[in-house]
């Protein structure tokens, strides 16, 4: 119990504060699940900028994790576009196939990586994002549960090339 409290104070709270600050007014944190966040943005560009800013922030100003875990906190992000279902009983909550798909994309990412679904990557290419490289495609080796094999793309700042 004491270890969980220490982890929450040293890692989870600072991480949640950082995510909240970087989401700012451009998006909305819908829910928290452990150390994960479900965040929505009105525009894909805002989500892409958030993802790169969060990775950059964790690199430039790391959040140390307890000694028994070693190292610093790293995150993985999945981005998908679509129209999620709004819960009629809880209008601030979303669910449905689009949310499930985004979660599966995130689950397939490696630490310190942002993956885009094929539809998000297509929109990102149309935006001609300056300073951002889109890599891929990479077909999933295993079918995403409930969705089959899909093509995923990754984004990173151009200076990584």
Residue 20 scores a pLDDT above 80:
yes
What pLDDT score does 84 carry?
92
Q: What angle do CA 54, 75, 41 make, to 5 degrees?
A: 50
Question: Model-level pTM?
Answer: 0.89
Residues 6 or more apart whose CB falls under 8 angstroms from that of 151 comprise 118, 136, 137, 138, 139, 140
Across the chain, mean pLDDT equals 89
Across the chain, how many H-helices and E-strands are there? Answer: 5, 8
What pLDDT score does 159 carry?
57
Q: Residue 104's pLDDT band (boundaries 50, 70, 90)?
A: very high
* Percentage, residues of the chain above pLDDT 70: 94
Strands 114-117 and 77-79: parallel
């Amino acid at each position: 119990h004491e270890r969980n409290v220490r982890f929450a104070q040293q890692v989870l709270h600072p991480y949640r504060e950082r995510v909240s600050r970087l989401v700012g007014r451009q998006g909305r944190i819908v829910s928290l699940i452990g150390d994960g966040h479900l965040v929505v943005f009105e525009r894909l560009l805002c989500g892409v900028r958030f993802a790169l800013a969060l990775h950059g922030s964790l690199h430039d100003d790391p959040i140390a994790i307890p000694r028994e875990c070693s190292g610093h906190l790293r995150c993985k992000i999945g981005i998908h576009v679509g129209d999620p279902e709004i819960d009629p009983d809880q209008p601030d909550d979303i669910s449905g196939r689009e949310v499930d798909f985004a979660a599966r994309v995130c689950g397939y990412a490696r630490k310190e990586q942002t993956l885009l679904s094929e539809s998000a990557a297509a929109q990102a290419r149309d935006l001609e994002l300056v300073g951002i490289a889109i890599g891929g495609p990479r077909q999933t080796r295993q079918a995403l549960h409930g969705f089959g094999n899909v093509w995923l793309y990754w984004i990173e700042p151009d200076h990584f090339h």
